[in-house]
Each structure stands twice: as C-alpha cells, then as structure tokens.
A and B are shown apart, each in its own frame.
Chain A
Amino acid sequence: MKEDHWISDSILYLKKIKDQMKIYGVMAHGLVPEEIIIASGGFPLRLSLIDRQAAIKGMEYLTAITCSFAQSTIGYFEIKNELYHEVDAIVAGNYCNGELCATELIAEYFKIPRIDIVFPSTKNESAVKFMLAELTHFKEDLEQFSGKQVTNSEISKAIALYNNERKLIQQIVQLQAEKGQLLSGVQCLQLLYWHFLFGTEVSIEHLQNTITKLKEDLPVKEGTKIIFAGNGVPIGDNTIELIENFGFMVNKNLTWTGLDYYSSLVDENTEPLEALARYYVNSENSGRMILSDDYFKNLINIYDNSNADGIIFYTIKNCSLFPSVISKKLKGTLSERQIPFLEIERDYGTTSEAQLQTRLQAFKEMIK
C-alpha cells in the first residue's frame, strides 16, 4: 500500500524535524486550529491511522462500544507505533465522545502531556466569543509548552499558509469541475493524507505538482459518480477504494477527509484569533450540536449542482457524531426527493468487505 511508504517517510520526516520543533498529536477531525500550532513553531500531526490490530489493543483501554478510530488511536500508543511515538503532547478536544475518552486515556496511561481545547456546541455570537477566549487559552498553553511566545503576526502568517493550501485544494476541485473527473476519490483522499502526515508546507508542494499535472491532458475517469458524506476516512480504511473498485467514482467527498470540506477560507482581514474562532465554529457539525435542516438542504444543493448519480453516506459503528440520527433524517429527505442513496455502516474499515460488496452491487443496479 502506498500509505505504508508515506508513513515510513513521515516517521523519518518527524525524526528530522523533532530537534527543532514540538510535535503535537491532533485528532483527525480537522477542528483543531492547527494554524496556532504552526505559529508556535510546532508541528501538528493528525492522528489519522487505523487498523484492526491497533483497535484490538485499544479495546483494552476503551470499551467495545467505542468507535474503532478512538480504539486504534490508543492502540497505536500501546503498541509503540513509531509515528505516534514522536508525539510530544496531545491536543484534547471535546469534538466527540471518542476523542474525549481516547485523549484522556493516552495522557493518563502513556504519560503524554495533554493540552485541552473546548469547542462550544452552538454557533451563536456567544459561542464565537467563547471560542475566541478558548483559542487565546490554547495559544498560551502552547507558549508555555514550547517556551516560545506566539505573536499575532505569526498567527496571521500561519493563516495565510493554510489559506494558501485551501486555495490550492479549491483549485483542484474547480479544475475537476471544468475538465471532468481527473482524480479518483482515492487519489483525492491521498492528497489530504499528505497534509495529515507531512504538514502544510509539504502538502502545498504536492498540491502544486498535482495541479500542474491536472492542467495537462489527463484522461477523464469513468464511473458512476457519487457524493460521499458522513464520517471521514482515515489512513488504513479502504472504504472509498472498495466503492471505486465497484465502478463508482467519488465525485465529491464532503467529509473532513475530502477536498470539498475545505471550500472556505479563514478571513485574513480580521484579527487572527477572532478569524480562526469564526472559521472553526462555523466549520463544525459535530454530534454535540443540534444539526439544523441547513445541513440536509446543503447536501441536496450540492447534489443538485453536481453531476453525481447518487449519495453514499458513511457511518461508523459506535460513532457518536454521525449515528443513525442523521442518516434517518437524511433518508427521509433524500427519499422525498428520490435521490439514490446508500448508507454504509462499517467499523472504520476493520470489518468484513463481503457485506459491503453486496450492498454496493445492489446500489449500482438501482442507479442503473
């Protein structure tokens, strides 16, 4: 697997930079303002690996009803995974029950310093104010941990860097919209894995190379186009690969592991921490929140404005973020609009593929 090489390379990369900067383990949901970590001279490593072995190990700490992603994350620490071994501190948020429990246990049992960040569960002005104060707190904690003061100008520089990466991602989305699908869903996914494993600067270089290639005459990928929504797909989860092996083509991936997730930018004309607070509060649609109907309307709008043939909604067993609550509402909304829809529930790629194959086959026939 390509990813295995990347992980080995990432380990070498981290070992190389470790002398100059602190490495912060960040849960992979994309809600932690990495810009502040960068501004503090640190490196945010997205803890985005998953596999069955690690999940089994993780079960010794978490119960069987926790999602396998949280289990795997702890499991990797238990088996002394080389990549996670480089982590100097872990950022502990409250995005979901899994994150809350896993980060707490990692800090407790593996003696990894924990830096807390609290996300609000609403999106009103009070929540933005709260988030702003939390980010200030987070910045101070990073300053204390790294021994380096973080200035506004450094945060602004980091925001510009991240926005640059987001713009390149948007450029790829735009190019594909104009020229047709040039990259498969798996390839798009892998573009983001570069960010997860090597950080923004390496990712930017990689995105630029990809754009150059896309501007050449590449063949358009064929397949039944679908929109992928719901839970993200961590490194080691082969769900999108399986879907595409069945002749589907993931046209849009709306999860935190999809290019389409990065469609907005942090406002560079606002005071940097406030801009980040607004951006991250508005990016969140976690299970702690009461999702407004806008979530579903938005999904339908995206479908209407795309040339996709259906929607696949990915839910993770025991995930407290996208459980059947959402899928039930979604099913109702999509059935009403007669939009072809398939819900897949898996255990983050650690479960059998046979059942999924049968369901994909049926879905494909339905779309035909």
Chain B
Amino acid sequence: MSIDSEEFLIPSFLNLNLKFFSAQKQLRKFRRSKRMMIGTILPIGAELVFASGASPIFPLRIGTFEAEKLLRGTRLATNILGSSLVETGVRMLQPQADTIINQFLSEYNKNLCGFENQADTFNYFPESCFATRIAYGSSVPFKDQIALFLAWGTRCGWFSQFYGTLNDSIPIVFTDIPKSSTPHARQYMYEELQELVHHLETMTGNQVTDEAIKEQVIIANTIRENYHKIFDYIKTPDKMPLSPYAYMQLMALLNIAFIDFLSATKYFEKNFTHLLKDLQNRKPIDYAGIPKLLLAPVFSGSEPDLPQIINRLGGFLIQADWFSYGLLDPIKTQGDMIRNYSDYLLKSHDAWKDNKTVIESWLETATQFKVDGIIFNKLIGCTSITPSYRLFKDRVQDLGIPFIDIDFNRIGENLAQIKNKLASFLEMIKKS
C-alpha cells in the first residue's frame, strides 16, 4: 500500500505539506518583516503568541528539505493545470508522489537524526528523553532567530530541565501549570497566564487585548474542530477518505503542525478546512480487514518510521495524543479570555496529571476508535509516563485488548527487532 498520486495532489493536503516543510523560509520572511519568533515544543500558548503579534515556531520543523523544490514544482503544475489534469492526463508532470513523500520522510528523519546529533554535540544529557534531546538540538542552532521560548511547568521534570538549560541560549518565560484542578489551582493558573501575557507584551511592545486573543482562539478552535473530524473518520472505518498510508501521514503531519499551527494560523485553518471539504467529497475507502492500532504515548517522541512499518505490515496506526488529552476540545470564547485559556490548560494537564489518569485517557481513545490493539511506546529516558507501563499493561489485560510494547530511544535503534515484534503482533491480531 502506498500513497496514491491523486491523494497526494489534493491541493489543500499539498499546501499543508508544503507549509510544514518550509519553516526555513518562514524564518527568513519573519526576519525581514521584523516579526518576532517565539519557540514552543508543546501545543499550548500559540494563540497568545499570535495575539501579541509574534509567531510561534516549533524548531523541529526547521530543517533542510531538498524535496521541497519537487513539491513546489508539483504545486505549480497543479495550480496551472489543475490537479485532475495533472493526475489523469499529463503523465509527464505526475510527480511520482511516492518518491517525493519518501524523500521527504527520509529527509525529515535525517533532520531529526541531525537534531539528535546536535544535542550530543552541545553535550545535552544523553540520559534525557528523546523529545527534550531533539528539542534542544533543534532550538539552539536558531538562538539568534528565536527571541523567546515558551516554557511550561508540567508534571515532567525533564521538560523543566530542558527549559532551564535552553535558558542559557534562548531566554525563556516559565509558566507553571499546577497539577490540580481545585479552585485555587484555577486562580494560580490564571495569574501565571497573566504574567505570561504581560511578558509577551513587554517583549513585542504590543498590547495583548482580550479581543486579539479571542480572534486567535476562534481560528484555533476551527483547527481543533477540523482535527477532531479527522479522528471522527476513524470511528467509521468503512468510510475512510484516504488510503491508510496517506491517512497515517496526515495524522503524523497534524501531530506536529498542531504545536505551532505551522507558524501561520490563518493559512493552516484555511487549508485544513479545505482539506476537510475535499475529504468529504471523496469516494469512501473501506478499511475492513486492516487492524487499527493505537500508539501511546506519542508526544515525547516515537520512531518516525512506525507509520511506514505498520503500513507495510498491513495495519493502520493512530497517533492521537492531543485528542486523548483533550487538547482538541474548544476553548470558550465568551468572557475573560485569559480565564478561558487557563481553564483549557488546566483541563488538558489534568488528563495526564498522573499515570492512572493518563492511561484512562488512552483507553477512552482506544474505546472510541474501537482499536484492534495498542502499542505502548516505551520511551527510554522518560521517567514520567513510561513508568505507567505496568499499570497500563495490567489494565489493558483486564479489558482483553491486544497489547505490545516497543522500546524507543534513538531514531533507527533496534528497528529490526521492532519490525519483528510488530509483525508477530499484527499476525496475532489478524488471526484472532
């Protein structure tokens, strides 16, 4: 199974891919227009950054992609000739979607490896988790372009250590998210967020009004709603709009794009909304016989080749962390926007406040998507969520859901072993 050229040429999908891989260009553009870039590694706070007149950037998107030229050429051809013509008639311009996608993936992985190596070069702590290592390796080289970094106090100590270390290269603004949802936690969160907004105002010289936040939240809520719909499709596997591999790539793209809204929130929203319409108009594909597997957790890093591996094994991989943690729920747009935003932060943090809660969040997702199995992404170096392994395993066994764990530390490490393990797992699921 591979991505069909026709799927690849859906203009909105193509545009999102193109924007995703053009962060270098965005950086140059923002520098020329003197727009401040603010680094972020978690999918929270972007609306506030936009409201302050700055743009958020997830440094992992900043990479060198030779395939971008091919992609731009494809878009140009699509724009001139129309996607259907490119797809059906003018075979000479058919961009060999697989080749481009594969080149992108290989370049993306190469970039990730490069960030890992950068982190090693900067003597970042090898014992820390993959997410913070590559975050460090990808951020520090852009210390001259990134004016400030959003730092969040979560339950995870490694994130704090990352922010603390990064602070020596890029100034950070630290906002605590209390591990509680009591009224006093709500007040504390509110005051912390007020501080953050004040900091953004000082940095950018722009006033962050409630109206400006509201405007951004409305756009972001549409993105959330769209993202939710992408997951809704999974609930009706006989009506899937794309082939499994294309859908997996879309989910992988959204998983990262959701962090900084591609540094272009309106563009993201517009193309995402278009994409939803395009998907609606497509002939449904039936996923009957294709096992659905939930990968959890995802956001601290996972082997980037996993979708490809699962695809080759005839399965369908779901990466739904943001969904599980309630980050796709809308933010209220009535009343005090800082209050609304702080309630949203508290609620989403509450979904992974401890391991018992986090595993229930995953199980709820697994139930909603009626998955055939769960892959536990045992991230070496994660001292926060990986220790949920025993609890999760016991709980999943009680429920009778097929379950497997795979270790992940560095890209490409133990890949053969992972493939074998997953092959047996898929075989077992298919037989049952």
Contact = CB atoms under 8 A, between A and B. Distances in A.
B384 A122 contact: no
Given A121-B153, A291-B164, A137 B188 contact: no
A53 to B, nearest CB: 19
Contact of A104 (B165, B178, B182, B355): B355
A149 B192 CA distance: 33
Given A60-B390, A104-B354, A129 B161 contact: no
B389 interface: yes
Interface residues of A, number: 44
Contact of B157 (A126, A129, A321, A324): A321
A194 B356 CA distance: 35
Interface in B164-178: 164-165, 167-168, 172, 174, 176, 178
Contacts of A324: 125, 127
B383 interface: yes
Contacts of A329: 165, 168
Contacts of B386: 63, 65
A100 B381 contact: no
Given A105-B390, A130-B185, A328-B123, A288 B153 contact: yes
Interface in A302-357: 317-318, 320-321, 323-325, 328-329
Contacts of B381: 65
Given A65-B383, A65-B386, A323-B127, A287 B355 contact: no
Given A101-B387, A133-B182, A318 B127 contact: yes
B339 interface: no
Contacts of B388: 101
A284 B22 CA distance: 43
B153 A122 contact: yes
Interface in A104-124: 104-105, 108, 116, 118, 120-122, 124
A61 B224 CA distance: 36
Contacts of A366: none
Interface string B46-87: 000000000000000000000000000000000000000000
Contacts of A1: none
Given A288-B157, A290-B172, A318-B127, A130 B384 contact: no
Contacts of A60: 390
Interface in A67-122: 67, 94, 96-98, 100-101, 104-105, 108, 116, 118, 120-122
A287 B127 CA distance: 15
A290 B387 contact: no
A323 B355 contact: no
B157 A320 contact: yes
A120 B125 contact: no
A290 B160 CA distance: 6
Interface of A: 60-63, 65-67, 94, 96-98, 100-101, 104-105, 108, 116, 118, 120-122, 124, 126-127, 129-130, 133-134, 137, 286-291, 317-318, 320-321, 323-325, 328-329
Q: Which 3 A-B pairs have the closest CB atoms?
A: A133-B184, A320-B157, A121-B153
9 contacts: A63-B387, A63-B389, A97-B384, A104-B354, A108-B391, A120-B176, A122-B153, A130-B185, A288-B155
